[in-house]
Structure 1
Amino acid sequence: MLKIENPRWKELINNSFWSVGGAIASKGLLFLVWILVGRILGSASYGEFGIIRNTVLMFATFSGFGLGLTATKFVSEYMHRDRNMVVTTINVTYFFGIFMGILISVLFYLFSQQLSVTLKAPQLLFDLKICSIILFFSSLNGIQIGILQGFQKFKEIAKVNVIQSIICFPLYILGAIYFGVHGAVIAFLVSYILICILCSFFIKDIFAKNNITFSFLSVKKGFSILYTYSLPTFISGLMVSPIKWICDTILISSAGFKSMGIFTAALTFNNIVMVMASMISGPLLTTLASKKDNENKTDVNIERFNLLFPWYLSILISLPLIYFFEIGHSMFGDSYEVMEFRPTFIVALFFTIIMMFKEGLTRIVAVNNLQWWSLFSNLIWGLSLVTFVYFYVGIDSTTMAIGYTLAYSLNILVLFPIFNKRNLIPKNSILGFDSLLIWLLLLSSAIFCLQNYTLYIRIIVFCIVLCLVVYIVYKKFIRIKNESN
């Protein structure tokens, strides 16, 4: 029987077990929900639901203020070293989170009519007003999950996600069947409220065991955390969700809600890959933050795992779907135009792999208090995407996906040399000749699958490419193992 002696790896594996288990159960149901809702609503109505969901995510950036990540980072780092710092972090994030949640929710409600006009969708006014309530609970949920992750309560988070998914699954389906977009949005609201209620039970227990109480004096002491860590995290987030929302509105103006629906459907698989990769994001972040040695360093193998795992996982999930796009199209149905869905789907999966390539580095930046570098990274990405979408004439779902690909690629090309020079990237991890070979195989695969080759030819080529990728990854781990020994 395999025994793991390293306490850091034991902790990571134990936390990841619950995170992975909870994600498979809950996010698997969520994935099924988005597919079924997409089939029930059709491409145009699903496009409306997609822009509503993205609007919530955009304004959640303002109400959240990066407080969830702040709570995770500081609670996990100081949990065994400085109880006062933990209490201060919890107090200031809760206080400011409630304040921002109320403020943004009220402003969103007051300007919901103008927002529906901007979207050229007055029929969505009711749904946008419902979103104002969602925003408040979104702010609370981010902080609650952040605190639970900081205390490494991944088993409890798994329970929250599973219970919420089981209850909301039928609500989404019945809501979409009987009330269309309105019903799906109501189910969306219920899911956020449920998460808040369930998290409150576990957090109440944590507060009782650790004798944590609310103190305004503690809040005043913790404001330095907000402008040194939360503020750059918040500003960095402004370069993501709002940029995506702006691009979505341009897509709707150019190609309509039907094209938006196709793009949303394609991104469903993007979201699943991100969820699968994030299954150990919380455990990794807490392990990296809490297990620094006296020289402010962590285990190099954990750092490598942090960088390689999300990338390899995204390849494992995305590569078969790139070669066999029919899987994705058959799930959503014939209302999604196949000639537009196919290239959008393939390109979206390709930029998903690019996103995961730098996912681990994002955690390293967070752990080392380099959030201003994250801001710079997102600024490059945001400006690149908006520039492409704004100046491209006749943008549709496919060209939107191409814009995302170019933006993420430019982001990596500009920033990776900088991060590598600052020794943020461990040797023998995501940079090297083997990584270049994998990228060439992936790019060739995407270009190949955009052509109209028969299924039999694609099966043969897929098997060859998969064997090559597996061989390269295998040789990589052999080198890492030899180096460790």
Structure 2
Amino acid sequence: MDYILFIKKKINSFLGKESNATSRKITKGLIWTFLGTAISKGFFLLAFVVIARIISVEDYGKIGLLRSFINTFTFFSLASFGVTANKYLAINKENNKILASRIYSSTRLLVFILSLFILLVSVIFLEDITIYVVGDATLKTEVLLSSFAIFFASLNGLQMGALSGLEKFNKISKVHIVNGLLSLPLLCLGAYYKGVLGVIVALLLVNIAIWLCSAFFLHRGLKEFGITFRLDNFGDSIKIVKSFTLPSFLGGVMMSPVILYCNSLLVNYSSDGFEELGFYNAAFLYSSIVSILIGIVGQVFYPFSMKFFNKKNAKFDFVNIFTSYILGIILCFPLLCFPDLFMKIFGEDYEGSTTTLILVVLSTIVIAHRQGIARNFAAGDFMWWSLLSNSFWAVNVIFWCYFFLEDGAVGRAAAFFIAYLINTLVFIPFYIRKKLITRSLVFSKFHLGIISSLFIGVCTFYYLDSIFLRIFLFMGLTSFIILCFYKWFNKYTQYA
């Protein structure tokens, strides 16, 4: 309890006394989010480490590609509908229950239709998808089961977005806890007895379970706020949803298939493509969990970003923009300094993937920096500009994937890091001009110090053999990064 009171006190001081009610909600949301995510993603990470030791690197790559297939078409069917439900429930759940009901109902219906359509298409073109997308004709049953997993994952994604809009963060946490408690035993047992097929069966069962769980909590939450399923004035609701959702939908449709395409490109380029993807997936596993954690923390801030956008609250702006960035650095910096130690947990077959891991981790940090800005894209209704940004990224990443095609897993990781970095640098002037972020939250001596520390951290791995010296420098650099953020916060809130 002392730690919780300490966190509450700090967030109160960040947001100001006039925002105590908001800070209490954010604090509760963050505590519940971290609790649920720590259990869920911790067990998930452990499960896939165990799986890596049970099956071959090639089979691990197959599982990675099938997961990419699931994620891609889940994003396609869900697109930004979860975000739409989040936004309009957050804004209207108390003051305009009729509008909240209509928007939620229309998004729910559209997600169901899209999810069902994708399921039917996957079944009809099962053989083609198995051969041309997954790249292995023997995985037809696994692809079919993955298609059903996509259906339930999409429905669950909408429900989780709606729960966030209702600020039911404790319920979201409980869904994540159920996810973690089921994932660890089911995934490990599935891999042990049935290999790739067993893992996909386990993923399907977990998705069904958490869909049922989130549906139960959402039903109670909607009832509490008096929000009902209603499709009257459906045309008007669709117009509202389309104006916000369409550009984000197109952006999501663009990004997810690009990731799947790049994975398929890596698999189909050479005879050991699945093995290279296995190396990449091992390196990507921790970073994917960090990205999910950052996204879930973003769910806590999302409804408040809708309310406080352009309200000139310097303390909230700093916390909103940089919480994901700080969290990303804290979780990723140890891997930049000690990638060799992390890869050892997967077994000796994976120990040569340290450079791949470093590049993946750097990409994750760049993504974390963009998360707060992305919330302001939605809050300020700049979703068409977000689509332009995603389009530019997609062209970049495909180009660099072809450029580094011969470098296998390292090339795949390098392509994504370069594409994310270029995209961020090109669009920073737009972010500033549209007031999605202030200039002083980008160009600062403190930011330069943080970036330099990350670079030095990478160099410690490549140029220092002594693990004790690396630990000493890691502790010093970590302290310096924390000091930079602290000084940056004080200066920004003092003069903003």
Matching residue of 2:117 = 103
Matching residue of 2:305 = 288
1:391-430 paired onto structure 2 within 5 Å? 391-426=403-438, 428-430=440-442
1:328-367 paired onto structure 2 within 5 Å? 328-336=342-350, 338-339=351-352, 341-367=353-379
On the 8 A contact 2:43/2:183 being kept in 1, the answer is no
Matching residue of 2:380 = 368
Q: Which moved more, 1:305-314 or 1:241-250?
A: 305-314
* 1:247 maps onto 2:262 in alignment: yes
Residues 193-239 of structure 1, C-alpha deviation per residue, up to 9 Å, x if partnerless?
11110111112223333443333324333111232111111111123
Deviation, 1:60, is 1.5
Q: Which moved more, 1:464-473 or 1:281-290?
A: 464-473
Q: Hey, what's the Cα distance between the residues in 2 that align with 1:11 and 1:212?
A: 21
Q: Which moved more, 1:393-402 or 1:1-10?
A: 1-10
Residue identity matched to 2:273: G
Over 3 Å counting, the alpha-carbon distance change for 1:8 and 1:188 in structure 2 is same
Question: Paired residue for 1:238, among 227, 248, 253?
Answer: 253
* 1:156 maps onto 2:171 in alignment: yes
Deviation, 1:175, is 0.4
On the 8 A contact 2:401/2:412 being kept in 1, the answer is yes
Matching residue of 2:39 = 25
* 1:15 maps onto 2:29 in alignment: yes
Q: Which moved more, 1:444-453 or 1:279-288?
A: 444-453
Matching residue of 1:276 = 293
On the 8 A contact 1:11/1:287 being kept in 2, the answer is no
On the 8 A contact 1:40/1:177 being kept in 2, the answer is yes
Q: Which moved more, 1:435-444 or 1:367-376?
A: 435-444
Deviation, 1:346, is 1.2
1:2-81 paired onto structure 2 within 5 Å? 4=12, 5=17, 6=19, 7-81=21-95
Residues 257-304 of structure 1, C-alpha deviation per residue, up to 9 Å, x if partnerless?
111011111111111221332342111001111345xxx526332121
Over 3 Å counting, the alpha-carbon distance change for 1:65 and 1:354 in structure 2 is closer
Matching residue of 2:141 = 126
1:446-465 paired onto structure 2 within 5 Å? 446-451=458-463, 453-465=465-477
Residue identity matched to 1:36: V
On the 8 A contact 1:311/1:357 being kept in 2, the answer is yes
Residue identity matched to 2:305: L
Matching residue of 1:141 = 156
Over 3 Å counting, the alpha-carbon distance change for 1:276 and 1:215 in structure 2 is closer
The SS at the match of 2:349 is: coil
Matching residue of 2:333 = 319
On the 8 A contact 2:405/2:411 being kept in 1, the answer is no
Matching residue of 1:438 = 450
Deviation, 1:483, is 4.1
The SS at the match of 2:438 is: coil
Over 3 Å counting, the alpha-carbon distance change for 1:28 and 1:430 in structure 2 is farther
CA RMSD of aligned residues (A): 2.0
On the 8 A contact 2:103/2:237 being kept in 1, the answer is yes
Over 3 Å counting, the alpha-carbon distance change for 1:191 and 1:208 in structure 2 is same
* 1:264 maps onto 2:281 in alignment: yes
Residue identity matched to 1:434: F
Residues 406-446 of structure 1, C-alpha deviation per residue, up to 9 Å, x if partnerless?
10110111101111112211354343221122212323433
Q: Hey, what's the Cα distance between the residues in 2 that align with 1:35 and 1:366?
A: 36
Runs (4 or more) in structure 1 with deviation over 6 Å come to none
The SS at the match of 2:455 is: helix
Q: Which moved more, 1:54-63 or 1:202-211?
A: 202-211
Over 3 Å counting, the alpha-carbon distance change for 1:180 and 1:328 in structure 2 is same
The SS at the match of 1:216 is: coil
Q: Hey, what's the Cα distance between the residues in 2 that align with 1:163 and 1:469?
A: 35
Over 3 Å counting, the alpha-carbon distance change for 1:265 and 1:461 in structure 2 is same
Over 3 Å counting, the alpha-carbon distance change for 1:37 and 1:301 in structure 2 is same
Structure 1 residue runs without a partner (length 5+) = none
Q: Hey, what's the Cα distance between the residues in 2 that align with 1:164 and 1:15?
A: 18
Deviation, 1:164, is 2.7
Instruction: State the aligned residue count.
Output: 479
Q: Hey, what's the Cα distance between the residues in 2 that align with 1:84 and 1:189?
A: 35
Residue identity matched to 2:119: S
Over 3 Å counting, the alpha-carbon distance change for 1:326 and 1:442 in structure 2 is same
Q: Which moved more, 1:315-324 or 1:258-267?
A: 315-324
Q: Which moved more, 1:30-39 or 1:145-154?
A: 30-39
* 1:116 maps onto 2:135 in alignment: no
Residues 52-104 of structure 1, C-alpha deviation per residue, up to 9 Å, x if partnerless?
00011111222113211110011101122211110111110111111111001
Residues 336-387 of structure 1, C-alpha deviation per residue, up to 9 Å, x if partnerless?
2x23x11101111111111111111011111111111111111111111101
Q: Hey, what's the Cα distance between the residues in 2 that align with 1:210 and 1:8?
A: 19
Residues 379-414 of structure 1, C-alpha deviation per residue, up to 9 Å, x if partnerless?
111111101112334131111111111101101111
Matching residue of 1:385 = 397
On the 8 A contact 1:251/1:395 being kept in 2, the answer is no
Q: Hey, what's the Cα distance between the residues in 2 that align with 1:326 and 1:188?
A: 29
Q: Hey, what's the Cα distance between the residues in 2 that align with 1:184 and 1:451?
A: 39
Residue identity matched to 2:384: W
Residue identity matched to 2:406: G
Matching residue of 1:203 = 218
On the 8 A contact 1:48/1:261 being kept in 2, the answer is yes
Over 3 Å counting, the alpha-carbon distance change for 1:451 and 1:123 in structure 2 is farther
Residues 146-196 of structure 1, C-alpha deviation per residue, up to 9 Å, x if partnerless?
111111111111111112321232111100100001000001001111111
Matching residue of 2:206 = 191
Structure 2 residue runs without a partner (length 5+) = none
TM-score by length of 2: 0.92
The SS at the match of 2:381 is: coil
Over 3 Å counting, the alpha-carbon distance change for 1:483 and 1:9 in structure 2 is farther
Q: Which moved more, 1:442-451 or 1:109-118?
A: 442-451
Q: Hey, what's the Cα distance between the residues in 2 that align with 1:62 and 1:482?
A: 43
Deviation, 1:111, is 1.5
Over 3 Å counting, the alpha-carbon distance change for 1:104 and 1:393 in structure 2 is closer
